[in-house]
Amino acid sequence: MPVPPAPALFTFEFAADPYPAYAWLREHSPVHRTTLPSGVEAWLVTRYADARQALADTRLSKNPAHHSEQAHRSGRVGIPGERSAELMTHLLNIDPPDHTRLRRLVSKAFTPRRVAEFEPRVQQLTDRLIDSFAERGSADLIHEFAFPLPIYAICDLLGVPAEDQDDFRDWAGMMVRHAGGKRGGVGRAVKRMRTYLAELIHRKRAELTAQPLPGEDLISGLIRASDHGEHLTENEAAAMAFILLFAGFETTVNLIGNGLYALLRNPDQRALLQDALRRGDSALLAGAVEELLRYDGPVELATWRFATAPVTIGGTEIPAGDPVLVVLAAADRDPDRFDGPDTLDLARRDNPHLGFGHGIHYCLGAPLARLEGQIALATLLTRLPDLELAADPDDLRWRGGLIMRGLRDLPVRFTPGS
Cβ at position 32, least distance to ligand HEM in Å = 18
> Which of 298, 323, 401, 406 forms a contact with ligand HEM (CB under 6 A)?
298
Where does this chain touch ligand HEM (CB under 6 A) — which range of 8-16, 81-89, 299-307, 336-344?
299-307
Where does this chain touch ligand HEM (CB under 6 A) — which range of 10-18, 69-77, 139-147, 245-253?
245-253
The 224-243 contact track toward ligand HEM, x by CB under 6 A, reads -------------------x
What is the distance between the alpha carbons of residues 252 and 167, in angstroms, rounded to a whole number? 19
Neighbours of 95 (CB within 10 A): 17
> Which of 30, 159, 355, 400 forms a contact with ligand HEM (CB under 6 A)?
355
> Which of 251, 258, 269, 379 forms a contact with ligand HEM (CB under 6 A)?
251
Cβ at position 199, least distance to ligand HEM in Å = 21
What is the distance between the alpha carbons of residues 355 and 51, in angstroms, rounded to a whole number? 11
Neighbours of 202 (CB within 10 A): 14
Long-range contacts of 413-418 (CB under 8 A, 24+ apart): 413/137, 413/138, 413/387, 413/388, 414/137, 414/138, 414/384, 414/385, 414/386, 414/387, 414/388, 415/137, 415/384, 415/386, 416/134, 416/135, 416/136, 416/137, 417/134, 417/135, 418/134, 418/383, 418/384, 418/385
376 binds ligand HEM (CB under 6 A): no
> Which of 40, 91, 311, 384 forms a contact with ligand HEM (CB under 6 A)?
91
The 93-112 contact track toward ligand HEM, x by CB under 6 A, reads ----------x---------
Where does this chain touch ligand HEM (CB under 6 A) — which range of 45-53, 128-136, 248-256, 306-314?
248-256
Indicate the residue among 247 and 380 with the shorter CB distance to ligand HEM.
247
> Which of 369, 376, 380, 412 forms a contact with ligand HEM (CB under 6 A)?
369
125 binds ligand HEM (CB under 6 A): no
303 binds ligand HEM (CB under 6 A): yes
Which residue type does 145 have?
F
> Which of 45, 92, 172, 325 forms a contact with ligand HEM (CB under 6 A)?
92
247 binds ligand HEM (CB under 6 A): yes
What is the distance between the alpha carbons of residues 106 and 335, in angstroms, rounded to a whole number? 37
Indicate the residue among 21 and 106 with the shorter CB distance to ligand HEM.
106
Angle between helices 366-383 and 267-278 (to 10 degrees): 90
Interface of this chain with ligand HEM, residues 159 to 218, rule: CB under 6 A: none
DSSP SS3 for 252: helix
> Which of 87, 197, 263, 302 forms a contact with ligand HEM (CB under 6 A)?
302
Where does this chain touch ligand HEM (CB under 6 A) — which range of 33-41, 219-227, 277-285, 362-370?
362-370
Indicate the residue among 55 and 189 with the shorter CB distance to ligand HEM.
55
> Which of 54, 368, 381, 410 forms a contact with ligand HEM (CB under 6 A)?
368
Under 8 Å between Cβ of 249 and 172 = yes
What is the distance between the alpha carbons of residues 324 and 173, in angstroms, rounded to a whole number? 28
Residues 218/220/226/231 CA torsion (nearest 10 deg) = 120
What is the distance between the alpha carbons of residues 222 and 235, in angstroms, rounded to a whole number? 12
Q: Which residues lie across from 406 on neighbouring strands?
A: 399
φ/ψ of 339, rounded to 5, equals -70, 135
Total chain residues near ligand HEM (CB under 6 A): 27
Under 8 Å between Cβ of 256 and 129 = no
**Which H/E stretch holds residue 399?**
strand 398-400
Q: Which residues contact 165 (CB under 8 A, 6 or more apart)?
A: 151, 152, 155, 156
Task: Please give the residue ranges that form the binding site for ligand HEM (CB under 6 A).
Answer: 55, 91-92, 103, 154, 243-244, 247-248, 251-252, 255, 297-299, 302-303, 328, 355-357, 361, 363-365, 368-369
